[in-house]
Structure 1
Amino acid sequence: MKKVLRLLLLFLFAFVAYESFLSMKDYPGSSEQVDYELNAETLPTELHPIVAENVEVLKQKTAAKGITIVITDEYRSFEEQDKLYDKGRRTPGRVVTHSEGGESYHNFGLAVDFALQLENGDVIWDIEYDGNGNGQSDWFEVAEIAKDLGFEWGGDWHRFKDYPHLQMDFGLTINDLQEGKRPKHSS
């Protein structure tokens, strides 16, 4: 009987811990309570205004440190996402994404990709480059500034490092977005 009781208590503890985990509202990249609206009929066709505003702030803050960044990708349609997903799978090239159309924050106007721009105008994706000469990688300096602004950085991901990727999820998962939940336009 004691063994059954212990197993029952262990199961109950695991269940309560799992339910608590599922109900958490503090997702990575979001320190605020989820504030969303339901709009399943309309998909965004551009960057969310708060994301766009923070991208401009990021450009200003990095420029103040002697680092110029360019946004190489932002909003992406489902079709564009599918073409990227096909790279390294159905078409030549290396795999650049693990997300099909509708599975990326880019598809909902909540993500951008960046690169560094040199004084001569060349654009590079060198994560070791120290163009401002302060002994730190410019790329990682940009990532830290972006995280301070509320972006989640793909370089922090464990399974697939996506160093150019920055996103603001506003506490919404891809499933939430697929169900029509959208972050409000003001904070």
Structure 2
Amino acid sequence: MFAKYIRILIGLFLIIVLPGWLIYYYFVPPDPDELELPDGLHPLVVEKRDILIGRAGEAGIPILITDGYRTIEDQNQLYERGRSQPGKIVTYARGGESLHNFGLAIDFALLNKKGNAIWDMQYDGNRNGKRDWAEVVTMAKQEGFQWGGDFKGSFKDYPHLEMGFGLSLRELQRGEKPPLP
């Protein structure tokens, strides 16, 4: 008789409690204030960023890293651009929803002949008949970055390069960390 009640309790747990916990764990985002975040870029991202800058320079394509690690506050300010602040929308990620917050992403721009940052994807400053932007993206992918221009959906983030180390945003938010070199 006692075993019957135990089976009923286990059954209720599996039917009611466990699915609720799984839904909470996988679909309810954590509070950004409770995230354990780094205070800078991951060491491998730094290493690959520096290699990319060097390779691009050797190809006659000077680039500028316009952004790297962002705090939650920085991300939220950027998110408000085009919403409650002037400007156009540049991100759909709030604080804690961007790989920049986990030190795993950088943004870049090309530098023109005058040394000004440009985001012209057709620009061929080294005059080799190839678009400099595409050349930099190819180099970045060879170094292990994923490119925001390949994002699925309607929002393409062309200056964005990231290294997710096989971890999903949800896993990072739940405290999983990429390996250190």
Q: Structures share a fold, TM > 0.5?
A: yes
2:64 aligned partner: 70
Q: CA deviation at 1:70?
A: 0.7
Once residues 143 and 176 of structure 2 are traced to their aligned partners in structure 1, the CA distance between those partners, rounded to angstroms, is 23
Unmatched 5+ stretches in structure 2: 1-33
Once residues 41 and 161 of structure 1 are traced to their aligned partners in structure 2, the CA distance between those partners, rounded to angstroms, is 26
Matched, 1:122 2:83: no
1:105-141 CA distances to partner (integer Å, 9 max, x unpaired)? 0000000000011232211111110001111110110
Q: Say whether the 8 Å CA contact 2:35–2:96 is kept in structure 1.
A: no
1:60-88 CA distances to partner (integer Å, 9 max, x unpaired)? 11111110111000000011101111111
1:162 aligned partner: 157
Once residues 140 and 41 of structure 1 are traced to their aligned partners in structure 2, the CA distance between those partners, rounded to angstroms, is 35
Q: CA deviation at 1:155?
A: 0.9
1:174 aligned partner: 169
More helix by share: 2
Report the count of equivalent residues. 147
CA distance change for structure 1 residues 89 and 171 in 2, over 3 Å: closer, same or farther? Answer: same
Moved over 6 A (4+): none
Q: Normalising to structure 1: TM-score of the pair?
A: 0.76
Once residues 132 and 185 of structure 1 are traced to their aligned partners in structure 2, the CA distance between those partners, rounded to angstroms, is 36
Once residues 104 and 131 of structure 2 are traced to their aligned partners in structure 1, the CA distance between those partners, rounded to angstroms, is 25
Q: Which amino acid aligns with 2:140?
A: A
Q: CA deviation at 1:41?
A: 6.9
Once residues 44 and 124 of structure 2 are traced to their aligned partners in structure 1, the CA distance between those partners, rounded to angstroms, is 29
1:116 alignment partner, SS class: strand
1:182 alignment partner, SS class: coil
Q: What are the residue-to-residue correspondences of 1:37-116 with 2, within 5 Å?
A: 42-116=36-110
Q: Normalising to structure 2: TM-score of the pair?
A: 0.78
Q: Say whether the 8 Å CA contact 2:38–2:102 is kept in structure 1.
A: yes
CA RMSD in angstroms comes to: 1.2
Once residues 80 and 147 of structure 1 are traced to their aligned partners in structure 2, the CA distance between those partners, rounded to angstroms, is 27
2:177 alignment partner, SS class: strand
Within the candidate set 134, 138, 157, 2:132 is matched to: 138
Say which one has the larger Rg: 2
Once residues 64 and 41 of structure 1 are traced to their aligned partners in structure 2, the CA distance between those partners, rounded to angstroms, is 39
Higher relative contact order (CA 8 A, sep 6+): 1
Q: Which moved more, 1:86-95 or 1:165-174?
A: 86-95
Q: CA deviation at 1:91?
A: 1.3
